Structure 1
Amino acid sequence: LLNQEFPFLLTSKSMSTTFLAPGTRNNKLGWLLSSFLCVCVFQVVLKIIKHYQEEGQGTEVVQGVLLGLVVEDRLEITNCFPFPQHTEDDADFDEVQYQMEMMRSLRHVNIDHLHVGWYQSTYYGSFVTRALLDSQFSYQHAIEESVVLIYDPIKTAQGSLSLKAYRLTPKLMEVCKEKDFSPEALKKANITFEYMFEEVPIVIKNSHLINVLMWELEKKSAVADKHELLSLASSNHLGKNLQLLMDRVDEMSQDIVKYNTYMRNTSKQQQQKHQYQQRRQQENMQRQSRGEPPLPEEDLSKLFKPPQPPARMDSLLIAGQINTYCQNIKEFTAQNLGKLFMAQALQEYNN
């Protein structure tokens, strides 16, 4: 999406800092992924939340493009715009052309218009999917600094903003480039579900005027409305997470059955191949004793074609999603246990 119309290198004459467009990393900066920081302007957070409130319903996710610049060792996300909801009937809609028109319009009004990633909402933390993996690989392969912001509206509604930034690990990027997801390739690359994605720290930044405005609004807001963090209703949220966790465990069990079937078929074929070689060897010995020439060599790979191994990437994604559910349940129960103990102590004190 970044062609000659959108330059790769921008410099600010009024500042000594050099701003790099994504995908043009300067080796002189010397920053590493381990120290990479994502700075998100609060306006972007509000736009993402507003996008979900207007178009997101239940399990339906909303997505959009993140815009900004790379400043030294920071990825600054300064703007975003949503992907419009469209159906299969909208055959005339061109998503790429839509993005180009939006970026061109933003450039004309002197707003940062360079891609730095994309965002997506999630339903109870269900975002570790093949679609997200493929999309993030496409972004990160074209623009090395790209991140994906995951917004959880359900957890946010409980009183704490849930917004996380992720990238694919370098090992997973190499495997995706090779497009070899066999068990041997993943084992060779030493990839496990714990090291598929790396979380990038996020710092949400406000201007001084916005901080003053928020301080004024906080003084005017009613104290009675601030009760989300004190809610003791945890059964619905916890039950939904457990249900989703059990569904993924069932999927993992089915994948394990498929893999065990593949291993049994492989072992059975190896036995048949060994028996065939023994029979051929005995027959050649008998022919040699009779003074006859041995049987011609045959291509065993054609006679015994190895069974197709199941792709292990789906299993890794399921394991990663299970790990995400477990972490969410752990965090949720830890917070609610504290509130329950506090409520119990207050009740005993009042009695």
Structure 2
Amino acid sequence: MAAALAASLPAPSAAPAAPQPKYEAIPASMAKVIDIEAEIPLTTIQLDGMVVTKIIKHAREAPSSTAHGLLLGLDLDGTLEVSNSFPLPYHTHDDDEKSVKAIARHQASMLRSLKEVQADDSVVGFYQATTLGAFFSQSLVDTLAIHQEKLRHGGVVIVHDLSQTARGNASFRAYRLTAAFMDAYKKSNFNTARDHVLTRSHDSLINHRLTFSSILEELPLKIRTNPLLSSFLGTLTKAIPSTMPDATPLEAYETAVSPSYAALDLGTAGVTRNLEQIVEAVDAYRTEEGNVSYLIRQIARERAKADNYIAKRKEENQARIAQGLAPLPEEDVSRLFKIPAEPNRLESLLLLGQIDAYAKSLGDTSSTSLAKMYAAKASAGI
């Protein structure tokens, strides 16, 4: 998906520059609102009610929990107003070259169609559906990094939790990558080496103080609803007298929207699945840490061989100089000993983020379910 977004997002043109048209100066009263130079930092994300319903509908109808799409809108006076969105096609293998090209064509076609009908066609980010609050992944980080490099104010990601929506709570959160993580990501340096002699770059996770909790920063999010739409929803939920002449007392009043009893659900069904997800994430983290430990030991062995070779060569040269002979030429140690590169710790950070998200989801679900169970027990007189 990251490759497809990179292909579809606007890129600088190599064509010769055309003469620039002359525009009138922006009035002083609008200079702050119309932020052409992107000098006003984003402070709030505002979702339109239509965008919220589109995301929920797409997430429910998607064949898996990997529903994602693009967000369209405009930033005004520090507020990123998301006014529209459209889903991206789902493919089993997102890394397949044909799938990437198909997604890129779909994006270009949708943006072109929106522009033809004079709708918002400015990409400001993307949305991602998730379950149990765990959305940390390499694909999400790569896609978000592409957006923050190419878009004016830097792209954002809206995370929608399906498990919360199933319990009657629409969960939407807005995130973007932190400046420290972007600096390390551009240099592709996610090792923990402190000494710059042991690695090509002295920048590392320790120097950037990066942990799984400092990869993303959350932005305040609010939902804007149309007053007319709110009034219409109010009429749908309001009970009206039934037109049936022989209606029973239970059918005397009816509503267009059937009542939801999600609040009465004790919520114990998802606890087992949540525990399974935690165990799987912990096993994946242990496997990753085992691979990293093996690479570190291999690097230490190869580096020890290189150090011993250098020390032995120095002793031989000192002995030859003492005998009046010319010293042996210095050889490139990197050609004689293949020292592996420092292991990448980004995958470990993302797995820790998943474990933390699963644990928080389990804590929220368990606390709510426990309170409901005590309430049900008290109401039943047990």
TM-score range, shorter chain: 0.7 to 0.9
Q: What secondary structure does 2:340 align onto?
A: coil
Normalized per residue, the structure richer in helix is 1
1:164, distance to aligned residue in structure 2 (A): 1.4
Provide the residue aligned with 1:211 in structure 2.
Answer: 230
1:216 & 1:291 partners in 2: Cα distance? 103
2:101 & 2:75 partners in 1: Cα distance? 31
Going from structure 1 to structure 2, the CA distance change for 1:272 and 1:94 (only over 3 Å counts) comes to: closer
1:73 to 58, 75, 78: 78
For the 8 Å contact 1:20–1:71, the answer to whether it is kept is yes
Provide the residue aligned with 2:38 in structure 1.
Answer: 26
- Calculate the TM-score normalised by the size of structure 1: 0.83
Going from structure 1 to structure 2, the CA distance change for 1:72 and 1:91 (only over 3 Å counts) comes to: closer
Asked if 1:200 is matched to 2:208, the reply is no
**How big is the alpha-carbon RMSD for the aligned residues of Structure 1 and Structure 2?**
3.2
Going from structure 1 to structure 2, the CA distance change for 1:90 and 1:39 (only over 3 Å counts) comes to: same
Equivalent residue runs for 1:77-156 within 5 Å: 77-85=82-90, 94-143=102-151, 144-156=153-165
Q: What secondary structure does 1:133 align onto?
A: helix
Asked if 1:51 is matched to 2:58, the reply is yes
For the 8 Å contact 2:51–2:83, the answer to whether it is kept is yes
Q: What secondary structure does 2:238 align onto?
A: helix
For the 8 Å contact 1:12–1:18, the answer to whether it is kept is no
2:320 & 2:101 partners in 1: Cα distance? 73
2:31 & 2:317 partners in 1: Cα distance? 79
Asked if 1:301 is matched to 2:334, the reply is yes
Q: What secondary structure does 1:240 align onto?
A: helix
Asked if 1:231 is matched to 2:265, the reply is yes
Going from structure 1 to structure 2, the CA distance change for 1:92 and 1:71 (only over 3 Å counts) comes to: closer
1:315, distance to aligned residue in structure 2 (A): 1.1
2:353 & 2:301 partners in 1: Cα distance? 32
1:227, distance to aligned residue in structure 2 (A): 1.7
- Percent identical pairs in the alignment equals 31
Equivalent residue runs for 1:162-177 within 5 Å: 162-177=171-186
For the 8 Å contact 1:75–1:145, the answer to whether it is kept is no
Q: Unaligned regions of 5+ residues in structure 1, if any?
A: none
2:348 to 306, 315, 318: 315
For the 8 Å contact 1:136–1:167, the answer to whether it is kept is yes
Q: What secondary structure does 2:210 align onto?
A: coil
1:240 to 255, 266, 273: 273
1:286, distance to aligned residue in structure 2 (A): 4.6
Q: Unaligned regions of 5+ residues in structure 2, if any?
A: 1-8, 13-22, 194-203, 240-254
1:191 to 210, 219, 235: 210
Q: What secondary structure does 2:344 align onto?
A: coil
Provide the residue aligned with 1:268 in structure 2.
Answer: 301
2:114 & 2:311 partners in 1: Cα distance? 73
2:376 & 2:31 partners in 1: Cα distance? 52
Tell me which amino acid in the other structure corresponds to 1:177: K
Moved more, 124-133 or 183-192: 183-192
2:128 & 2:53 partners in 1: Cα distance? 14
